[in-house]
Amino acid sequence: MKRTITAFVLLTAIVIWSVLGIFIVQKENSSLVDVIKRIESCCENDDMQEAEELAVKLESLWKKYERKMSLIVADEKLTELSMSISKVRPYCRDANDELLAELENIKRQLELVYKSELPLWYNIL
């Protein structure tokens, strides 16, 4: 009977951690996407100074995000995102044409991180 109770407690803990992880990823992703959208808006208005300031904020949010997500998400996904986010501030500074493409890439990678954490059959198997 003790083994059954222990197994049930462990399974319950795993389910709770999974559900909690989904909500954490969703919340953190939305805060990063909000800053990215503000950077895109600044780029469309040719306000690269403001875009660069927002890029600094994005990097700050990313450092917090990376610490939290390292417990939940696979490292290779975080490494790819880290490389993409590190390009944003130099692109803002240089008013590079690839900035908008890089921001779209970051949003797509964040979406993939979220989808990879959903407990769907193809993610579990």
Indicate whether 18 belongs to any domain.
no
Residue span of the structural domain in which 56 resides: 23-118
Q: What is the mean pLDDT of residues 85-91?
A: 91
Task: Please count the structural domains in the chain.
Answer: 1
Look up the CATH number of the domain holding residue 90: 1.20.120
The residue count for the chain = 125
Indicate whether 124 belongs to any domain.
no
> Could you tell me the pLDDT band of residue 19, with boundaries at 50, 70 and 90?
confident
Indicate whether 123 belongs to any domain.
no
Indicate whether 58 belongs to any domain.
yes
Indicate whether 81 belongs to any domain.
yes
Answer yes or no: is pLDDT of 92 > 90.
Answer: no
- Angstrom distances, CA of residue 86 to CA of 20, 56, 116, 123: 28, 10, 23, 28
DSSP secondary structure string for all residues of the chain: -HHHHHHHHHHHHHHHHHHHHHHHHHHHHHHHHHHHHHHHHHHHTT-HHHHHHHHHHHHHHHHHHHHHHTTTS-HHHHHHHHHHHHTHHHHHHHT-TTHHHHHHHHHHHHHHHHHHHS--HHHH-
**pTM reported for the whole predicted model:** 0.82
Indicate whether 31 belongs to any domain.
yes
Task: Dump pLDDT digits (tens) for 48-87.
Answer: 889 889 999 999 999 998 888 887 777 788 898 999 999 9
Most confident region among 1-5, 43-47, 104-108, 118-122 by mean pLDDT: 104-108
Indicate whether 67 belongs to any domain.
yes
Q: What is the mean pLDDT of residues 13-31?
A: 88
Mean pLDDT estimate for the chain: 88
